[in-house]
Amino acid sequence: MRGKRIETEEFTTWTEDDGVLRLSFVPGTRVTLDVAERIVEFGFESLHGHPGPVLVRLDGVSGISREVRNFAMGVVDMTAAGLVVRSPITRAVGGMFVGLLHGVPYPVRLFGTEEEALDWLKTHRLNPPEDSELGGEASISGAEVGDRQ
């Protein structure tokens, strides 16, 4: 399920065969409503129109606008968000972001490594129907969407 790689002035998004959307920011990026809207648009495209888990590398983010919180509350294309924070400065930004996302309809957690985040995110993938063209129910493996861990 490898999706296409999309690069903008602020971020890069892509998927690997594990079905997890990756999001990486250009150093110094301030996440505004415009940036968040494009992330969702391009991310959903990378996931081939199916909701899924997202690994967010917060290295490079200099700030996040308050408008992003309200926008994130309505995002339904995500089953979980694993935020990777590697430095004390990034951890502060990550903590602020998690605080802004309180009450979103999917679980959000901070991690120190991508490996830890991926292990957790893989438990929040949707299992696609055998033939998505024919419809059918999709189920979530692991914790239910909205559970906070």
Which domains are present in the chain? 6-140 (3.30.750.24)
Query: Sign (positive/negative) of CA torsion 127, 57, 65, 36?
Result: negative
Which run of H or of E encompasses 133?
none
Q: Which residues of the chain are modeled with pLDDT < 50?
A: 128-149
Q: What is the pLDDT of residue 82?
A: 92
Q: Enter the tokens of residue 113.
A: 């490594």
Instruction: Give tens-digit pLDDT for 81-107.
Output: 999 988 877 777 777 777 766 777 888
* Cα–Cα distance for residue pair 14/54, rounded to 1 Å: 10
- 88-126 per-residue burial string, b: 16 or more CB within 10 A, e: under 16: eebeebbeebbebbeebebbbbbbeebeebbebbbebbb
